[in-house]
Amino acid sequence: MKPLKLTLINFGPYAEQVFNFERLQQVPLFLITGKTGSGKTTIFDGITFALFGETAGGDRSAASLRSDFAEPQAETLVVLEFEHQGQHYRITRNPKQLLAKKRGSGMREIAAAAKLESFDGEKKQAELTKVRDVNLKIEAILQLNRQQFVQIVLLPQGDFRRFLLSDSNEKEAILRKIFRTQLYQQWSETLREFLKSQQGKITQQQAAIKQAFKKIRWEDPAVVLDELNSTEQLKLLAQQQTRAQISLQDLAVAKKQAAVAVQNQQNELTAGKKLNQQFAELKQLQNKLQISHQQQPKYYKQAEQIKILEWAQKQQPLFVREQELQQRLQKVSLNLQTTKKHQQQQQQVLQEFQKQKELLLEQKEVQQQRKTTKVLLTEQKSQFEKAAGLTKKVQHQDEQVKKIEIEQKLQQKKLSQLTEKLEKIAELQTELPQLLQQRNLVDQTKLQLTHFKEQVVNLLQEQQALQALTAEVKRLQIKFEQAQLQSSNQQTAYQQLHDAWLNNQIAVLAAQLSPGAPCPVCGSLNHPQPADQAMMKSINNTELKAAEKNKLAAEKNLNHLAAQLTEKKRTLTQQKEIFQQTKRELLKQLEQEKYLTKATLTLEKIQQVLTNQLQDQSQQLANLEEQVDVNQNSVAQRPQLLHQQQIEQQKVQQLGLDFQNEHDEQQRLTVRLAEIKRGLQKDFADIAELNSYLTGLEQKITTYQQQVTENQKQLERLQQQCASSAAVIKQLQAELTGLTSELQKVSAKIDDLMELQLATTERKTLAHLLEQTKSLPELRQQQADYYQQLAALKAQVASQENLLQKQQPVDLAKANDKFQQLQKQLDKIEDQYQKLYDQQLLNGSLLKEITTGRQEIQQQEAAISELAQLVTAVSGHSDAKLGLERYVLRQQLTTILRAANQHLQQLSSGRYWLQLHQERGNTLANTGLEIDVYDDHVGQLRSVHTLSGGESFIAALSLALALGEVIQEQAGGVSIDTLFVDEGFGSLDQDSLTTALAALEDIESGSRMIGIISHVEMLRAQIPAQIQISQLGQGQSRAKLVIQE
C-alpha cells in the first residue's frame, strides 16, 4: 500500500490541507517536521481514519478529531488516494458530527459515512457507499486490520530502543500486546488461583478437623491429650464409643422397668382420686337438695301472684279501650277550640281586605290620568332619541380629534429619535477604521504571546524530563555503587573459597607424600609438619563453581550498570545543553519584544507572566471585537433607517390632513344637535330623563292593576275558608257528643270488675298489674324449673348413695408420695441414659467427620502436589525460570530476531548479529527474553547495553522492521510500501544520527517510501524532502511540501 494524496478538511489542526505524496515517490526518504503539538502525527491519524474509520492509537474517537475552530455548518472530511498491487483507490470518510441546520436554527447529527472507489486508469470500476461494506473491502484489500496496519506502517523508534535495552519482564509485557498472548498469562493466573483455592480448602478441612477434636466429649477428662497424636486420639475415641454402647443397652433395660412401676402407681393414684371425687359430689348434691326444700314457701307465694296477673291480663283490652276513648275525647276537644280560634282570625283578615277594596276604588280616577299622560309622552320619545344619537356622535368625534393629536405628537417624537440615531451612526462610521487597526494589532500580539507561551510549555516539559533523567542518573549511580560493593564482596568470597580449596588440594597431596620425596609446593625432602586435612574446612567443586558464578554475575551486572550510567550521563549532558540554548534564545526574544523585564525569572513565573499578558490581550481583543461588531452593525442599519425616516415624515403629513377632516365633521354635528334640542320639552333634559319618568309612570299603572287583582283573589279565598271552618266546627261537636257517651259505659264496666276482684276502682292499681304481666312467662318458667330441679336432685342423690354404699375414701397423700419416689428414680435413669446417648451420638458424628476429612485431605494432597508443580512450571518459578507464556514469546522473538538480523547484517556491514541470551538469569526478570549481540570484530557476544547510540538505533530499527515483516507474514504475506518512523532521534549525537540516516537510506533503496516524524533540527539540514508544519494560532496548522535541490 502506497499513499498518493491525503486531503484533510476540518480534521485536527488542519482547516483544509492536501498532502501530495506522489511528489515524494522520487525521494522516498522524507521528513515530517514541526513543533510539538503542531499536528505531525495527525497525518498518520488521517491515513488510518480514512482506511479503518479509527485513529492510529485507538485512544481517541474519530468524532473527537473534528477541529475546534470549524464553522458550525462546515463538515469534517478525509479523502485518501492510494495505490496497492497496481490498483488505484480513493476512499472518502467523515466521522459522526453535529452540524448547524441549513434552514432554521439548531444542530443536526450527521452519521458516519464512507465511500470507496476503485479505478483502472481514469475509468472508475466500482464504488461502495456503506460503511460496513467499505470496512470489509479495505481489510480484504490490505489483508490487515487497524492494529496490524499501525504496527507495520508506524514504527515508534524510541519504543524499540527501550525494548532492546529492557529486561525480560518489560519485553514480555510489550510482546504480549503485539502477539496477544494474554491467554497464556490468564491461564497461568487461573491455575495459580485454582491452586490457592485448593490449598485453602485443605487448610479449612484441617481447621475443621482440629475444631472437631476440640468438640469431643471424653469420659475421663483427666486424659492428657497433648501427649497423644491424632491417630492415637481416634483409637482412644473408638474404644470409648464401644464402652458407651454397652452402657446404653444396660440403662435402656433399667429405664423400661422403672417406667412400668411408675405407670402402675399412676393408675392406682388416678383411681383413688376418682373415688374421692365421687364422695365429694354426693355431699354437694345432698346440700343442694336441702336448699331446694327451704325455698318451697317462696314458690307457693309466687303461684298466687301468677293467678292475679293472669286476671289482669284478661281485662287489658277493656282498659286499653278506656284509655283510647279518653285520648280521642281530649284530641277532639282541642281541635274544636283551635278551629273556632282560626275562624275568628279569618273573619278579621276578611274585613281588612274589604277596606282595601274600598281604597282602590277611590284611586281609579288617578289611574286613568296616568294612562293619558303615558300616551302623550311616548309620542315625544323619538325626538329625544335623535338628540341622544347625535350627542354620542359628537362625543366620538371629540375622541377622534384628540386621538389624532396624540398620534401627531408621538410620530413627531419618533421622527426626531431617528434623526438623532442617524447622526450617531455617522460618527461611528468615522471611528470604524481606527478600531479595525487596533484590533489587528492586538490580535497579532496575542498570536505572538501564544507562540511564546507554547515554547515555555515545551521548555517546562523538557525541564521535567531533565529532572526525571537526573533522578534516573542518581538512581543508577546508587545501583552502580551497590553493584561495585557486591562485586567486591563476591570477588573476596570467591578468592577465599578458592584459597581454601587450594589448601584442601595441598593437604591431600601432603598426605600422599613418601619419605624423601620432594614437596610439590616447596620442594623440601623433609616433611616435619605436613598439612592436616582434618583441621581444614572442606570445600567441594560445587561450592567453588557457585561462588565463581556469583562473581561473574556480579561483574556482568556491574558492567551493565556502568554502560547504562555512561549512556544516561551522556544523554543528560546533551539534553541540558539543548535545553539551556533553547531557553537563552527564548529569553532573548522575550526581552527584545519587551514581554519580559527580568531574565532571571523561572520558567513557571515566565509562563504566569505570559498567561497574564495573554489574558489581558484576549480581554482587549474581545472588547475591540465587540466595539467593531457594534459599529459595523450600526453602519449596516443606516440605509434601512434613512428609508424609515422618509416613511415617518409621510406619516406626519398624513396625520395633519386627517386632523383637519375630523375637526370639520365635529363642528357640523354640534350645529345639528343644537337645532334638535330647541324643539324638545323643557321638563326633561334628555331622553334618559324622559325614559326614567315613563318607566316610573308605567310601574305605578302596573302596580295599581296588580293590587286590584290580588285584592279580589284574597277576598274570594277568605270567604271560602270561613265557610269551610263553620262546617268543621259542626262535625267536631257531633263527634265529641258520641265519644263522651261511649266512655261513660266502658268506665262503669271496669269499675264493677275491679271492685269484685281487687276491692278498689283505682286505675293505678290495674295499670301496675298490667305492667307486671310482662314477667308472666318468666314466673311460669321459674315455677317449672324449680319443681324439675327438685325432682332431678332427689334422683341423683339416690343414685350416688346406692353406688358408694360399700366403699371408703382413699388416702391420696400417701399414694402420691410413693408415685413421686418412683418418678424420681425413673428421671435419674433417663437423665443418665440421655447424657450418655448425646455424648455417644456427638462423638460418633465427630469420629466419622474426622475420619472422612483425613481421607479426603490425603487424596487432595497428592493432586495438589501435581498441580503445584504445573503452576510452578507454567508461571516460570521453576529452576528454569521460563514460564509458558514467555516460552511462546521466546519462539516469536526468535522469529523476529531472525528477520531483524537480515537487516542488521546489511546495516552494520556484517559486524553485528542479535541472538537470545542462552544462560539462565538470577531472577525471572532477566531470564528468557534477554538479547545479546555478537560482535564480529571482537569475535564474542556482548550485552546490547554496550552498543553506542547509533549502533543501538540501527539495532532497534532492525527489530522494528522485522516486527512489521513478521506481522505481515502472519497476516498472509501482504505488501506495505510505506513506512513512518516516529521520533527516537532526539537523543542521538551527530555521528549516531549520520549512522541512523544511512541505515534508513539503505532501507528505502528497497523501493519503500519512508517518512520520518521528528522535531529534531539537525534532521532538517540533512533530509532534503520535507513536509514542514507551522502553527497559525487558535489550534490551526498549515503544512508545506519542500524539496531542496
The alpha helices in 758-811, defined as continuous H runs, are 763-772, 776-803
pLDDT per residue as tens digits for the range 12-65: 999 999 999 888 877 767 888 888 888 888 888 899 999 999 887 766 777 788
- The more confident residue out of 873 and 910 is 910
Most trustworthy range by pLDDT among 109-113, 337-341, 370-374: 109-113
Query: How does DSSP assign 455-478, residue by residue?
Result: HHHHHHHHHHHHHHHHHHHHHHHH
pLDDT per residue as tens digits for the range 283-320: 888 888 888 888 888 888 888 888 888 888 888 888 88
* Out of 339-343, 589-593, 901-905, least confident range: 589-593
DSSP helix/strand/coil, 1039: strand
pLDDT number for residue 132: 92
Most trustworthy range by pLDDT among 133-137, 222-226, 579-583, 845-849: 133-137
> 109, 75 in Cβ contact below 8 A?
no
* Sign of CA pseudo-dihedral 947, 951, 956, 961: negative
Instruction: Please tell me the distance from the alpha carbon of residue 930 to that of residue 924, in angstroms, as a whole number.
Output: 11
| Amino acid identity, position 32 | I
pLDDT per residue as tens digits for the range 204-253: 877 887 887 778 888 776 665 666 777 877 888 788 888 888 888 888 88
∠ CA 450-456-461, rounded to 5°:
125
Which triple of cell numbers denotes residue 502?
Answer: 587450594
pLDDT number for residue 718: 82
Mean of the pLDDT values across residues 1004-1027?
75
CA distances from 567 to 476, 642, 989 (A): 11, 80, 12
Contacting residues for 591 by C-beta, under 8 A, at least 6 apart? 597, 599
Contacting residues for 258 by C-beta, under 8 A, at least 6 apart? 822, 825, 826, 829
Is the pLDDT confidence value at 698 over 90?
no
> 321, 679 in Cβ contact below 8 A?
no
Is the pLDDT confidence value at 600 over 70?
no
Q: Left (φ > 0), alpha (ψ -120 to 50) or beta: where does 85 sit?
A: left
Nearest CA among 106, 109, 110, 95 for reference residue 64 = 95
CA distances from 846 to 214, 215, 281, 853, 945 (A): 10, 8, 61, 10, 66
Instruction: Please tell me the distance from the alpha carbon of residue 553 to that of residue 536, in angstroms, as a whole number.
Output: 28
Question: Taking each helix axis from N to C terminus, what angle separates 316-362 and 364-379, rounded to the nearest 10 degrees?
Answer: 60
Is the pLDDT confidence value at 1004 over 60?
no
Instruction: Please tell me the distance from the alpha carbon of residue 44 to that of residue 509, in angstroms, as a whole number.
Output: 76
Is the pLDDT confidence value at 552 over 80?
yes
Most trustworthy range by pLDDT among 91-95, 189-193, 426-430, 970-974: 91-95
The number of beta carbons lying within 10 Å of the beta carbon of residue 1026 is 21
* Out of 269-273, 379-383, 961-965, least confident range: 379-383
* Out of 363-367, 508-512, 1036-1040, least confident range: 508-512
Instruction: Please tell me the distance from the alpha carbon of residue 87 to that of residue 626, in angstroms, as a whole number.
Output: 55
Burial of 871 by CB count in 10 Å (0-12 exposed, 13-18 middle, 19+ buried)? buried
Instruction: Please tell me the distance from the alpha carbon of residue 202 to that of residue 205, in angstroms, as a whole number.
Output: 5
Is the pLDDT confidence value at 973 over 60?
no
Phi, psi of 935 (to 5 degrees): -105, 110
Burial of 334 by CB count in 10 Å (0-12 exposed, 13-18 middle, 19+ buried)? exposed
pLDDT number for residue 1038: 92
Is the pLDDT confidence value at 78 over 90?
yes
Mean of the pLDDT values across residues 482-487?
90
Looking at CATH, the fold of the domain delimited by 1-143+1014-1045 is given as Rossmann fold (3.40.50)
Q: State the virtual CA torsion across 374, 379, 381, 385 in degrees, nearest 10.
A: 170
Most trustworthy range by pLDDT among 89-98, 312-321, 845-854, 906-915: 89-98
Per cent of the chain over pLDDT 90 is 6
Mean of the pLDDT values across residues 836-847?
84
Nearest CA among 932, 948, 941, 1019 for reference residue 981 = 1019
Q: E strands within 568-656?
A: none
Instruction: Please tell me the distance from the alpha carbon of residue 1044 to that of residue 1025, in angstroms, as a whole number.
Output: 6
Is the pLDDT confidence value at 79 over 90?
yes
Contacting residues for 920 by C-beta, under 8 A, at least 6 apart? 879, 880, 881, 927
pLDDT number for residue 288: 84
Instruction: Please tell me the distance from the alpha carbon of residue 614 to that of residue 452, in angstroms, as a whole number.
Output: 10
Most trustworthy range by pLDDT among 173-182, 477-486, 768-777, 783-792: 477-486
> Where residue 984 falls among pLDDT bands split at 50, 70, 90?
low
pLDDT per residue as tens digits for the range 806-834: 778 778 888 888 888 888 888 888 888 88
Mean of the pLDDT values across residues 73-86?
90
The number of beta carbons lying within 10 Å of the beta carbon of residue 477 is 14
pLDDT number for residue 50: 93
Strand-pair partners of 1036 = 1033
Question: What ranges do the domains of the chain cover?
Answer: 1-143+1014-1045, 381-512+532-636
pLDDT number for residue 17: 93
pLDDT number for residue 982: 72
Mean of the pLDDT values across residues 647-665?
80
Per cent of the chain over pLDDT 70 is 88
pLDDT number for residue 967: 72
Is the pLDDT confidence value at 499 over 80?
no
Query: How does DSSP assign 327-389, residue by residue?
Result: HHHHHHHHHHHHHHHHHHHHHHHHHHHHHHHHHHHHTHHHHHHHHHHHHHHHHTHHHHHHHHH
pLDDT number for residue 513: 60
> Where residue 868 falls among pLDDT bands split at 50, 70, 90?
confident
∠ CA 498-500-501, rounded to 5°:
60
Contacting residues for 986 by C-beta, under 8 A, at least 6 apart? 1014, 1015, 1016
| Amino acid identity, position 266 | Q
Per-chain mean pLDDT for the chain? 81
Q: Left (φ > 0), alpha (ψ -120 to 50) or beta: where does 106 sit?
A: left
Burial of 452 by CB count in 10 Å (0-12 exposed, 13-18 middle, 19+ buried)? buried
What's the DSSP call for residue 517?
Answer: P
Mean of the pLDDT values across residues 797-804?
82
Query: Residue 405, Cα to own-chain centre: how many angstroms?
Result: 69
Instruction: Please tell me the distance from the alpha carbon of residue 69 to that of residue 85, in angstroms, as a whole number.
Output: 39
Instruction: Please tell me the distance from the alpha carbon of residue 460 to that of residue 608, in angstroms, as a whole number.
Output: 12
Query: How does DSSP assign 595-606, residue by residue?
Result: S-S-TT--HHHH
Nearest CA among 1041, 695, 1015, 1025 for reference residue 37 = 1015
- The more confident residue out of 77 and 794 is 77
Contacting residues for 212 by C-beta, under 8 A, at least 6 apart? 846, 849, 850, 853
Mean of the pLDDT values across residues 490-507?
78
> Where residue 6 falls among pLDDT bands split at 50, 70, 90?
very high
